[in-house]
Amino acid sequence: MTGLAAEAIAPASAAAQAQWWRGAVIYQIYPRSFADTNGDGIGDLPGVTRHLDYVASLGVDGIWLSPFFTSPMKDFGYDIADYRDVDPIFGTLADFDALVAKAHRLGLKVIVDQVYSHTSDAHSWFRESRSSRDNPKADWYVWADARPDGSPPNNWQSVFYGPCWTWDARRGQYYLHNFLPQQPNLHVHNPEVQKALLATARFWLDRGVDGFRLDAINFSMHDPALRDNPPVAAGAGPRTRPFDFQHHFHNQSHPDIPRFLGRVREVLEGYGGDRFTVAEVGGEQADREMKLFTQGPGRLDSAYGFNFLYARALTPELIHDAMALWPGEDGEGWPSWAFSNHDAPRVVSRWRGARDAAAFARQAMLLLMALRGNIFLYQGEELGLPQADVPFERLRDPEAIANWPETQGRDGARTPMPWRAAAPNGGFSTGEPWLPVDRRHLDLAVDLQEPDPGSTLNLTRRLIALRKAKPALRLGAIRPVEAPAPLLAFERGDGEERLLCAFNLGEDAVDWPLPSGWRIVAAVGEGLGPLSGWIAEPAR
């Protein structure tokens, strides 16, 4: 074994140690699929509240709630028609207040989504904006004239399918939408739009939330000159959508976005220094933008991209490259990581190949908890759920329907949480669920895993407790350690505490013995056989 650092790594500052969110584990709840209390087949806020004791029992620091705001649900809540109310399918503002109160009693922070790049076309702002070219909100969305031949203003393509532009006869203009046509882009360059969005942030902060996840924030400002995006060279990667044919230099990633994020940060600072902000940043410029959006004290606390969520294979290079993006330099922001979420196929199905699903789920959990940064744990990930099988006729996700069968889509990651194996619909609802329950998920239900000390669920609890108990895991630096492929090895350290982490990502056993004077504090699998891994510390 070579390359193991001998010197101590400088401890985190006192200020960093005092920030609850730094190194935290945050549990993502997709309310529509978590728990239904009224039998309509759709999860709701009272269902979340009912199961917060379970969430707290995992040992996580907080929850992130995906959108529950008023919406026509064309994109299942990310098309918001009223930023400051709860959609009736999820409950009421009183239900939300009860959820926050119980979460805080249990010691859980509450993070909610804020979608500042676009609204629903049913939002009152857009209805007014489209009514004429001279109304008070005429410039609240991105409007542009047609080209002389009637075609869209430029070549921009939307994420889901087709052009970024839809014609509107009321205005006699096209409007911009980077996602669905029912999700028109706000004109966030407009100071009045920024003022309205910041007022929305204050509304939820006044109700007690502890921070925000800013959805698709790099899509919030466009190039006002409407320049065409350049094409991607042939052979540069898979192309399943028109979106994949372009470099997205002009319909997103405008240099004024950080200035707006500074205004968001100012609002949160007014509510105390413990409020947390994390940006979702995807796309080919994500690595640069994540650093930019979190650089210095006047920006966001953290950012996460899709380094792992869309990666096709788990390799040592994937982990080392992602960690190297955040070396811990002065003024640098703090990273966040997720292996699964509501927008990506579940990690067990993406990375395990033909190997044992349960063993891979345990290895992936150990690895996730060993990384430097905040951890987002997606509902059901603690159970080792694979991507659900959703037949075409039951698909609800517009992206999946449009691109089927070339992509797995998002529905398979959004199926109901299995609470009780023998209950109808896994205990999620007494009614027909909005998406079907995968039979394989019933064998992994919470009630079956709770009494089993060797279950993925109880392993997750032990690993979260270990992460809390070891400052090296929660706050420490990370250094790669030289190891033969396919072994992944790195050191975590904080002050005098050092941990050595090793994972066999291959199909065969690897001969790489534990260094003399070290002892294992957490492990999965056998030694360093396939689907194994361990965390070790110097013996006292």
Neighbours of 206 (CB within 10 A): 9
Tell me whether residue 145 is one of the annotated catalytic residues.
no
Is 228 one of the annotated active-site residues of the chain? no
Lowest-confidence segment of 136-150, 399-413, 414-428, 522-536 by average pLDDT: 399-413
User: Is 142 domain-assigned?
Assistant: no
For residues 7-19, give the mean pLDDT. Answer: 57
Please give the model's pTM, rounded to 2 decimal places. Answer: 0.95
Range among 168-177, 234-243, 266-275 with highest mean pLDDT value? 168-177
One-letter identity of residue 349: S
Residue written as tokens 């959508």?
Answer: 241
| Token duo for residue 523 | 């492990």
Compute, in degrees rounded to 10, the torsion defined by CA atoms 285, 291, 297, 299.
Answer: 20
Tokens of 328: 């811990």
Confidence band for 15, pLDDT divided at 50, 70 and 90: low
pLDDT at 3 over 60: no
Q: In this structure, is residue 413 part of a structural domain? A: yes
pLDDT category, 325, cuts 50, 70, 90? very high
CB 130 within 8 A of CB 168: yes
DSSP-based three-state secondary structure for 485: coil
Whether residue 4 is contained in a domain is answered as no
Q: Which of 413, 274, 253 is CA-nearest to residue 339? A: 413
Based on the structure, what is the number of domains in the chain? Answer: 1
389: burial class by Cβ within 10 Å (0-12, 13-18, 19+)?
middle
28 contacts 64 by C-beta, under 8 angstroms: yes
Report yes or no on 431 lying in a domain. Answer: yes
Pairing between strand 477-480 and 487-494? antiparallel
Cα separations (Å) of 141 from 157, 212, 348? Answer: 17, 23, 40
Contact between residue 312 and residue 283 where contact means Cβ atoms under 8 Å apart: no
Q: Which among 113, 210, 215, 301 is annotated as catalytic?
A: 215
Tokens at 165, concatenated: 């532009």
- Is residue 218 classed as helix, strand or coil in its secondary structure? helix
375 lies in some domain: yes
Indicate whether 105 pLDDT > 90. yes
Residue 514: CB partners within 8 Å, gap ≥ 6? 520, 534, 536
Q: pLDDT tens digit string along 141-151?
A: 999 999 999 99
| Percent of the chain whose predicted confidence (pLDDT) is above 70 | 96
Confidence of residue 9 (pLDDT cuts 50, 70, 90): very low
Q: Assess if residue 302 is contained within a domain.
A: yes
Burial 178-200 (b: 16+ CB within 10 A, else e): bbbbbbbbbbbbeeebbebbbeb
Query: Does 228 fall in a domain?
Result: yes
Give Cα 266 distance to the centre of its chain: 23
Q: Residue count of the chain, please give it.
A: 540
CATH number at residue 266: 3.20.20.80
Distance, CA of 278 to CA of 406 (rounded, Å) = 31
Condensed to tens digits (0 to 9), the pLDDT of residues 449-462 reads: 999 999 999 999 99
β-pairing verdict for 477-480 and 211-214 = unpaired
Per annotation, catalytic residue among 44, 87, 121, 280: 280
pLDDT digits (tens, 9 = 90+) for 408-424: 679 999 999 999 999 99
Rounded distance between C-alpha atoms, residue 35 and residue 441, angstroms: 15
For 178-261, strand residue ranges (E) read: 211-214
Q: Are strands 276-280 and 211-214 parallel, antiparallel or unpaired?
A: parallel
- Residues 476, 497 contacting (CB under 8 angstroms): yes
**H-helix segments, 76-176:** 93-105, 124-129
Q: What's the domain range around 329?
A: 20-119+191-465
What is the structure's pLDDT at 239?
A: 82
Q: Which of 406, 486, 482, 477 is nearest to 16 (CA)?
A: 477
Is there a contact between 175 and 266 (Cβ–Cβ < 8 Å)? no
CA 319/CA 317 separation, integer angstroms: 5
Confidence label for 176 from pLDDT (cuts 50, 70 and 90): very high
pLDDT band at 17 (very low <50, low <70, confident <90, very high): low
**Nearest C-alpha neighbor of 399 from the set 210, 175, 240:** 240
Pairing between strand 69-70 and 82-86?
antiparallel
Q: Is-contact 173 146, C-beta < 8 A?
A: yes
Lowest mean pLDDT segment, chosen from 328-342, 365-379, 388-402: 388-402
Q: What region does 531 belong to: left with phi over 0, alpha with psi -120 to 50, or beta?
A: left
- Averaged pLDDT score across all residues of the chain: 94
- What is the structure's pLDDT at 401? 85
CA–CA distance, 38 with 91 (Å, rounded to integer)? 10
Note whether residue 376 is domain-resident: yes
